[in-house]
Amino acid sequence: MRRTNSSQLAASRRKGSVSGRKPSAVSRKLTVICRCEEVTEDEIRRVIRQGYTSLEEIKRILRCGMGHCQGRNCLMPIARILNQETGAPVSQMKFPTPRPPLKPLPLGLLGADEAADEHR
């Protein structure tokens, strides 16, 4: 078995996989990029090929970044996919602004005081 040093591993990750091989079509269909909204890599690549070429457009079409994490977990991988598909540099992409609440809150907490006042 051949050992891989850290620079080879980093280079292969930039290419799209740890092994250095391109991911198969089957793995793209199964790879969930946005766990909150259950959006796969295949779905993201499909909308990019349909002409949606900004993170904001992809967010609006597929709801990526609108879940509990507000894009903290998925927007950077989506930006990398966008870079692979269009060649647009990730550093020049405009990332969508997270919308409040920044952290998930139980709905009962938002209306708790008003509901208590109404029942008095």
Q: Which residue, chain included where needed, has tokens 């879940």?
A: 67
Using pLDDT thresholds of 50, 70 and 90, give the confidence band for residue 106: confident
**How far is 94 from 53, CA to CA, in rounded Å?**
11
**Cα→Cα distances 25→31, 32, 35, Å:** 10, 13, 19
pLDDT tens by residue, 74-102: 999 999 999 999 999 999 999 988 776 66
Residue 90: how many CA atoms within 13 Å on its side-chain side? 11
Give phi and psi for 98, each to the nearest 5: -65, 145
Q: Which residue, chain included where needed, has tokens 């647009």?
A: 88
Query: What type of residue is 16?
Result: G
Class of domain 23-118: mainly alpha
Question: What residue spans define the domains of the chain?
Answer: 23-118
In this prediction, what percent of the chain has a pLDDT beyond 90? Answer: 47
**How far is 100 from 108, CA to CA, in rounded Å?**
16
Confidence at residue 5, expressed as pLDDT on a 0 to 100 scale: 52
pTM: 0.63
Confidence at residue 18, expressed as pLDDT on a 0 to 100 scale: 41
pLDDT tens by residue, 54-78: 999 999 999 998 888 889 999 999 9
